[in-house]
Amino acid sequence: MKIAFVGKGGSGKTTLSSLFIRHLAAGRAPVIAVDADINQHLGAALGLDEAESAALPAMGARLPLIKDYLRGTNPRIASADTMIKTTPPGEGSRLLRVGEDNPVYAACARTVRLDDDASVRLMATGPFNDSDLGVACYHSKVGAVELCLNHLVDGPDEYVVVDMTAGSDSFASGMFTRFDMTFLIAEPTRKGVSVYRQYKEYARDFGVSLKVVGNKVQGQDDLDFLRTEVGEDLLTTVGHSDWVRAMEKGRPPRFELLEEANQQALRTLRAAADGMYEHRDWQRYTRQMVHFHLKNAESWGNAKTGADLAAQVDPAFVLDERLLAAPQPA
């Protein structure tokens, strides 16, 4: 299952995504965690110190390797240089699987150890820096995540959890359609629900499954406010946590000591995500992938690569869970 955490800056989405990742790992589920935010804090939220977080390999810096691997023997792609962030897979493409070892994970992922030998694979786009100003753009780094998601096939009880960039920046590409479930973290304030309204409007035509998680909820008035503003999309709420406060100081207790109310909220999130499995529509997923690729090809991709990127679309190919058992191209 592919799961996104979104919300305005400061809403607590990184903290809640890290708690959800810990919850999944504690149950021994295979998890790939991806930090796709401009502010790269997911590693620290998962317990890495400053040096370990800084040493995480940047996916954006390894984009040529990612493209070359995913291209495989796909005859519709003339070279890795003609691949853009929305390039869809086709016959001959290499796919990513959650539990496997491959050159992309070797180059871009690091194992983070949690409690009781639980662990996750952590990938990061890389931090925003001066070189990203002007000609370059942070979206080119996030593009590495989108390309990997386009080529990832996953099954039940496998999880890819992405801490997305804040606000509505996710709509700069088609990446917001790449998920089985999107959890929007909202504080009980007008600013807190403004991103929800934007997301709801943008996602309406794409069948995006969206649920709101109220954060920093302190009482009935906060709960009533969120219920009024987001209605049935409110899934659960999270309140004050001494465990989180200790984690933010770099001294997290054992995860099993997280408050029961917050543990229950995490169980609710997992149940909601797992409940989407029976609704997975790989045909629609592939159509949307192609839609955004053709859109990007026409608006800038063809000019940038000097190629007709529409020709990369394999009309007979559908990214499907049944491909989990298929051998990779040589």
pLDDT score of 195? 86
pTM of the complete model beyond 0.75: yes
pLDDT score of 138? 44
CATH of domain 2-311: 3.40.50.300
pLDDT score of 202? 85
Domain boundaries, the chain: 2-311
What is the spatial order of strands in the sheet that 210-215 belongs to? 109-113, 119-124, 31-35, 159-163, 2-7, 181-186, 210-215, 234-238
pLDDT score of 136? 44
pLDDT score of 308? 97
pLDDT score of 229? 95
pLDDT score of 135? 38
Which residues of the chain are under the pLDDT cut of 70? 128-140, 167-173
Residues 253-295: tens digit of each pLDDT: 999 999 999 999 999 999 999 999 999 999 999 999 999 999 9
